[in-house]
């Protein structure tokens, strides 16, 4: 297994783990009795994790089984972009980082996994250097 596939699997596994973690938690400095149970307080699968988990599992199966359309670079970039967008939404919006309920660890772990997945699909630096030098060389 090459480095690109291994790094993709690490990123996708991190996305799946982030989907399982709570996406909403109570603020540690607020001492009140919780009467409402917002979605995401138990697990990220109650909100956006229900989307990021299946697409990351499908991508892992596609990589391991060498499925023609699932293990492609375009699909893995799509999984990374969708997961990073869905991970950033709860961080920037309600519940945000202030108030009684704040963002839990799930969105942050999902964003980290998304960044790893996207970086794993970029061309290596050596390839970029080759294109740069061959473009400017005089033949």
* Cα angle 42, 89, 115; round to 5: 95
User: What is the C-alpha separation between 119 and 130, in angstroms, rounded?
Assistant: 19
pLDDT of residue 1: 67
Element counts in the chain: helices (H) and strands (E): 5, 2
What ranges do the domains of the chain cover? 3-136
- pLDDT of 94 reads 64
For residue 111, the model assigns a pLDDT of 96
Q: In which element (H, E) is residue 130 found?
A: helix 125-136
Tens-digit pLDDT string for the chain (139 aa): 688 899 999 999 999 999 999 988 888 887 878 777 788 788 888 888 899 999 999 999 999 998 888 888 999 999 999 999 999 988 887 666 677 788 889 999 999 999 999 999 988 776 666 655 555 555 5
Measured in degrees and rounded to the nearest 5, phi and psi for residue 100 equal: -70, -45
């Amino acid at each position: 297994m090459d480095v690109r596939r291994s790094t993709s699997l690490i990123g996708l596994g991190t996305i799946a783990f982030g989907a399982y973690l709570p996406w909403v938690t109570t603020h540690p400095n607020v001492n009140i009795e919780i009467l409402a149970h917002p979605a995401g307080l138990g697990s990220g699968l109650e909100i956006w994790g229900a989307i990021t988990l299946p697409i990351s599992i499908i991508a892992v199966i596609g990589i391991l089984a060498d499925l023609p359309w699932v293990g492609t670079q375009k699909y893995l970039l799509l999984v990374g972009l969708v997961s990073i967008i869905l991970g950033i939404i709860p961080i920037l919006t309600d519940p945000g980082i202030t108030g009684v309920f704040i963002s839990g660890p799930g969105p942050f772990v999902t964003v980290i996994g998304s960044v790893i997945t996207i970086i794993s699909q970029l061309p290596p630096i050596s390839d970029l250097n080759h294109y740069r030098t061959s473009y400017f060389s005089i033949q």
